[in-house]
Amino acid sequence: MLRVAVDIGGTFTDLVAQDELGRVAVAKVLTTPLDHSEGVMNAIAKAGADPRDTALFLHGSTIAINTVIERKGVKTALITTRGFRDVYEIGRSNRPDAYNLFFERPVPLVPRSLRREVTERMTARGEIHTPLNRAEATAVVAELKNSGVQSIAVCLLHSYANPAHEEALGEIIASVYPEAYLTLSHRVLREYREYERTSTTAVNAYVGPVVARYLGSLREHLRRQGFSGEVLVMQSGGGVMSLPTAVQMPVRMMESGPVAGVIGAAKVASALGHPQAISFDMGGTTAKVSLTRNGNAEISNHYYIGGYNTGHPVMLPVVDIVEVGSGGGSIAWLDGAGGLKVGPVSSGALPGPACYGLGGTKPTVTDANLILGRLAEESFLGGEMRLDRTAATAAVQKHVAGPLEMDVNQAAVAIVRIANAHMALALRAVSVERGQDPRDFCLVASGGAGPLHGCTLARELKIPLVIIPRLPGQFSAWGMLACDLRQDYVQTMLRDYATVMPEEIQSALTELLNAGLAALGDGGNANVTASAIDCRLDLRYRGQEYTVAVPLAGTSFTGADREPVGARFHELHQLLYGHAAPEEALELVGLRVTVHRDIEKASSFAADANFGLDAHPTAAAQPQRKVYMGERHGFLDTPVCRRADLSPGAKLDGPAIIEEPASTTVVLPYDHVEVARTGELVIEIAREEE
């Protein structure tokens, strides 16, 4: 039986299928923006992965985040406690871009005209202050139904402490307007911070019907092909979730594609003895960078869709990723002053870069790489898509070289250098700006374009080692095959840590644990085999705003745990912030529970696992071609080899071009390449050129 993983990107849709022996089939097809499921089915057909023989289908997609960024969600209403209608729009009083005279606050996804209030009130302790006015609530729902809203978000004050009124309101909505997509805030998260909780709930409601329709369509396409297995969806915090959970909480899959690549990078680097790694994934639309330490991705509990300055806050676990608009399809253009810019606008899958021959006329990073010899006309995508050098040259000449009065090669070099500068800033953002020395990390370069630029970026940041994983062009899809089921739960419980009753903490922990175990029940899926649980307490010094999550030794909390957990908090505070105050009183702010359930995995990729590697074999490689190798060297006669011809243990020195069906690796002069026993390319970056 097969396990199939599909990642939908802005330009390409990638698929990796693996059988129980570890043999692999892969495919890369153009994304179909009008109907993403069509691209998925094209990839399945191309790889020859029979849905009837597929036990598990794992999926990552950008549909949720794109729906928010492009503001293409459904007409959504918000119901909240009387007097709190405008919390969602007022937001926070901070001004992140203080010197920008044209700064604008984020525009709410739910306009004020569709925000309603109901009479009710809970206290922060979860006690009923004002009962819910059911007659008023019924009238509000009926009014929203008549206004034509398709989705309703409910976020009542302090419902994280006691969701009774939200549950009652949910029953009213189900009775009066059962067709509406419903999101109750306490089902998405039970954490304080009213603005962020409201925003998270609104985002979920806004994208919910769009994601539900897409996932339903995908499941129907698979069913028609005879698929009867389990569908799991990649989520932003790492791990995968069931299809029903994804339909109810699509806000958890905002960064589902890129996150899988980070998880995969951490596992590959650790397996090769490098637990400290930077994941660098450059696709057709964007480049994503993330730091992994001790073999684990770094998780943040806050995230802004569209960026911190003007984005929509989401208060859910997400792998900490820095994303920039520098992908292979990023368009080069001149601003009003005649300055050359690259991105963030991308040519996408249609019309694509000029060299694709699909109607694109604007110059892109891919066009520049083709002009510079880094890509070959006849071997792109294993030879099945021939690139048009004449079209690429014409696009660069018309839009960049001509206006700037330079030759085409100079213009192509400028485009690549600017794209590299953007990506180098992203690498610094996750390392240097956070107090980490990039020289202590290796760089795992993936994505169709990542290996093209990885060595250049590593040299600029003095990163000593670059790892090119197997199947870099489909690496995010491969990462999904390495993930397990996961659910994250949080419960705000503001108490004095010294006096809170252990029984109260244990009761809340048990409730979260039971919810997690129920959500990850096997559902008849025989591939689910084992589980693991991580419990933490959010503690802080009295008077602080933010907390430190302190892990518990197990799944219980007793009076005997109070002192050692407090001592551990002081240690972590010292480690994170450089100081601690053991004499200060502590506050308990909340509880966090993460429930994992392992999914049975096949053996690792076999060295000869190349069946169905692509619909077309790799074109015969040229012995040499002229390739631009940086400012110092210019164009060099560079050996070209196929990655499939490099057996484990093989060694070579740069300059070199290593081609494979879905990616090309550029090895700079003096860099040294060795093929690992498991097939990865391990590139030692020259400390300084001779």
Give the whole-angstrom CA distance, residue 278 versus residue 280: 6
Confidence of residue 251 (pLDDT cuts 50, 70, 90): very high
The string of pLDDT tens digits covering residues 562-595 is 999 999 999 999 988 889 999 999 999 999 998 8
Chain-centroid distance of CA 10 in Å reads 13
Cβ contact 236:300 at 8 Å: no
The whole-angstrom distance between residue 482's C-alpha and the CA centroid of its chain comes to 15
Of the candidates 392, 394, 416, 402, which has an alpha carbon nearest to the alpha carbon of residue 338?
402
pLDDT at 527 exceeding the cut of 90? no
Q: In this structure, what are the phi and psi dihedrals at residue 522, rounded to the nearest 5 degrees?
A: -65, -25
Does 608 have pLDDT greater than 80? Answer: no
Find tokens 């600017």 and name the residue. Answer: 418
Predicted TM-score (pTM) of the model is 0.83
From residue 94, how far is each of 310, 381, 449 by CA, in Å? 12, 47, 38
Rg (CA), the chain: 26
Residue 675 has pLDDT above 70, yes or no: yes
Q: Are strands 465-468 and 442-446 parallel, antiparallel or unpaired?
A: parallel
Average pLDDT, the chain: 88
Kindly indicate the confidence band of residue 600, based on its pLDDT and cuts at 50, 70 and 90. Answer: low
Distance between CA atoms of 144 and 151, rounded to whole angstroms? Answer: 10
Question: What number of H helices and E strands is found in the chain?
Answer: 17, 35
Question: DSSP 3-state assignment of 299?
Answer: strand
What pLDDT is attached to residue 494? 92
Of the listed ranges 80-84, 270-274, 478-482, 620-624, the least confidently predicted one is: 620-624
**Spatial CA neighbour of 46 closest among 19, 6, 11, 10:** 6
Contact 65, 305 (CB under 8 A): yes
Asked whether residue 622 carries a pLDDT value surpassing 70, the answer given is no
CATH architecture assignment, domain 2-15+28-68+212-253: 2-Layer Sandwich (3.30)
* Whether 449 contacts 427, CB under 8 Å: no
Q: What is the DSSP string of 134-145?
A: HHHHHHHHHHHH
Q: Which residue has the higher pLDDT, 165 or 321?
A: 165
> Cα(578)–Cα(81) distance, rounded to whole angstroms?
41
Is the pLDDT at 606 greater than 70? The verdict is: no
Check pLDDT > 60 for residue 488.
yes
Give the model's pLDDT for residue 414. Answer: 95
Q: Given a cut of 50, is residue 58 above it in pLDDT?
A: yes
Which pLDDT belongs to residue 615?
A: 37
Gap between the Cα atoms of 194 and 199, Å rounded: 9
Q: What is the largest CA-CA distance in the chain?
A: 81
Q: Render pLDDT for 76-116 as a digit per residue (tens, 0 to 9).
A: 999 999 999 999 999 888 777 778 888 778 889 999 999 99
DSSP element (H, E) containing 213: helix 194-224
Rounded to 10 degrees, the C-alpha dihedral 198/204/210/214 comes to 180
pLDDT tens column, 329-356: 899 999 988 899 998 888 877 788 999 9
Q: Which helix (H) or strand (E) holds 121?
A: strand 121-122
Helices 389-396 + 408-430 axis angle, to 10: 80
User: Is-contact 365 328, C-beta < 8 A?
Assistant: yes
Contact 79, 169 (CB under 8 A): yes
Q: For position 572, what pLDDT does the model report?
A: 93
Give residue 603's pLDDT band: very low, low, confident or very high (50, 70, 90): low
Checking if the pLDDT of 613 tops 50, the result is no
Q: Check pLDDT > 60 for residue 607.
A: no
What pLDDT does residue 616 have?
39
Judged against a pLDDT cut of 80, whether residue 11 lies above it is answered with no
What per-residue confidence (pLDDT) applies to 438?
A: 93
The residue to which tokens 């010294």 are assigned: 498
Q: What angle do CA 629, 630, 633 make, to 5 degrees?
A: 70
Q: What is the DSSP letter of 310?
A: T
Assess contact for 302 and 195: CB atoms under 8 A.
no
By CB atoms closer than 10 A (0-12, 13-18, 19+), residue 349 is buried
Q: Which letter does DSSP use for residue 52 in this model?
A: G
Q: Per-domain residue ranges for the chain?
A: 2-15+28-68+212-253, 72-207, 485-599
Amino acid at 499: T
Residue 643 near residue 613, CB atoms below 8 Å: no
CATH T-level fold of 485-599:
Dna Ligase; domain 1 (3.30.1490)
